[in-house]
Amino acid sequence: MNRLWAAFALTLLLLTGCSSGNSSTAMDGESIYKKSCAACHGDKLQGAVGPTLVNMKSKYSEAEVLKIINEGTKKMPGNLLDKEASEIVTKWLMEK
C-alpha cells in the first residue's frame, strides 16, 4: 500500500512540473520584443533597419500601434506575432 501512495505522489509531482501554467512566463513584452522585434528596431528601441520605437505613446495611440504590428507597414510585414503577443508587446511599448 505504501508503494501505491508513493507512486501516486510521484505522479502528482511530475504532472505538476508539466503543467502549462509556466509557459506564459516568457510572454512578457520585453521578451517578445527581444525575440521578434529587436533585430530591426534595436535592443533599446533606438532603431536600426526599422525606425526608433522610443516614446511611442507620444506618436500613436495603443490601437494604432496594435494595428501596425498586426497589419504591418510598407516596409514591415504584418502578422509576425500572434494576437496575444501583439497585444502584450503593444502595451509594453506604450509604457516605454
How far apart, in whole angstroms, are the C-alpha atoms of residue 46 and residue 50?
9
- The pLDDT of residue 23 is 42
Return mean pLDDT, the chain: 83
Tell me the backbone φ, ψ of residue 28, rounded to 5 degrees.
-100, 155
Predicted model pTM: 0.71
Residues 16-68: pLDDT tens digits?
444 444 344 457 999 999 999 999 999 999 999 999 999 999 999 999 999 99
How far apart, in whole angstroms, are the C-alpha atoms of residue 73 and residue 44?
21
**How does residue 5 score in pLDDT terms, banded at 50, 70 and 90?**
low
By three-state DSSP, how is residue 72 classified? strand
- The pLDDT of residue 65 is 97
